[in-house]
Copies of this chain bind each other. A is one copy, B any other.
Amino acid sequence: MVYPSTITDIYAHPGISDADLESIFRAHVKVFFYKGDLILTEGQFSNAYYCLEKGLVRAFARNIDGKDITTGFFSKNEIVIEVASLFLRQPTRENIQALSDCECWMIGYEAFQELFEKIEGFTEWGRTWMSRALLANKQRSLSMITDSATNRYLSLRREQPEVLQVAPLKHIASYLGVTDSSLSRIRKEVAQMGR
């Protein structure tokens, strides 16, 4: 049987067989979100995660002044998830929002737990996924310290170019840790450099 490439991509792992993949796929349900929809709101308990087949999603937190800071972007074939709330069973401090119309494969916490217990290689896969997420996060903190705002912008452009196409400047700015005025200037400067 053939599964959506989003599923085969995300769950690709030596310990996961074709039969496993079938059980995994069956545990997912197709869901849609529309531009602007909040997939998760602070204070809620997260109860599922989403394999993103199409669209762009962002996570954001509020700082003390109530200003929202984008903490991450999720692109095609990535898992839209709030780990802390889902796995620590606590209310989330983050919000997750669709930045464009989205198609996802959702899996609920219960179904996930079953797979986690039943499928040998699934826990391994999970650990690997977590390790990668942790690594990515560390690199982000590091780049906040060692790179200039311009370089962080260039990295984002290199690694998630679709974000620059879809997300409004203010979300990108807060993600990069600068104001929108600054990002506007950075962008101008980069455009001139390019010539």
A residues with a Cβ closer than 8 A to B are: 61, 63-64, 69, 71, 83-84, 87-88, 116, 123, 126-128, 130-135, 137-138, 140-142, 144-146, 174, 177
- The answer on a CB contact under 8 Å between A84 and B131 is yes
A146: which B residues are within 8 A, CB to CB? 63-64, 69
Instruction: State A10–B23 Cα separation when bound (angstroms).
Output: 34
Check A83/B135 contact, CB under 8 A, given A69-B145, A145-B144, A145-B177: yes
Check A177/B83 contact, CB under 8 A, given A116-B123, A132-B88, A135-B88: no
Grouping DSSP codes into helix (H, G, I), strand (E, B) and loop, the A interface class, with mixed when no group exceeds half, is helix
> Across the two chains, which residue of chain B brings its CB closest to A63?
B146
As for how many copies of this chain the complex holds, the number is: 2
- The answer on a CB contact under 8 Å between B128 and A88 is yes
A135: which B residues are within 8 A, CB to CB? 83-84, 88
Instruction: State A138–B71 Cα separation when bound (angstroms).
Output: 8
**Min CB gap A2→B, angstroms:** 29
> Across the two chains, which residue of chain B brings its CB closest to A151?
B64
A84: which B residues are within 8 A, CB to CB? 131-132, 134-135, 138
> Across the two chains, which residue of chain B brings its CB closest to A146?
B63
Task: Point out which of A83, A123, A128, A145 has the most chain B C-beta atoms below 10 A from its C-beta.
Answer: A145
**Min CB gap A79→B, angstroms:** 13
- The answer on a CB contact under 8 Å between A83 and B145 is no
- The answer on a CB contact under 8 Å between A83 and B137 is no
- The answer on a CB contact under 8 Å between B132 and A145 is no
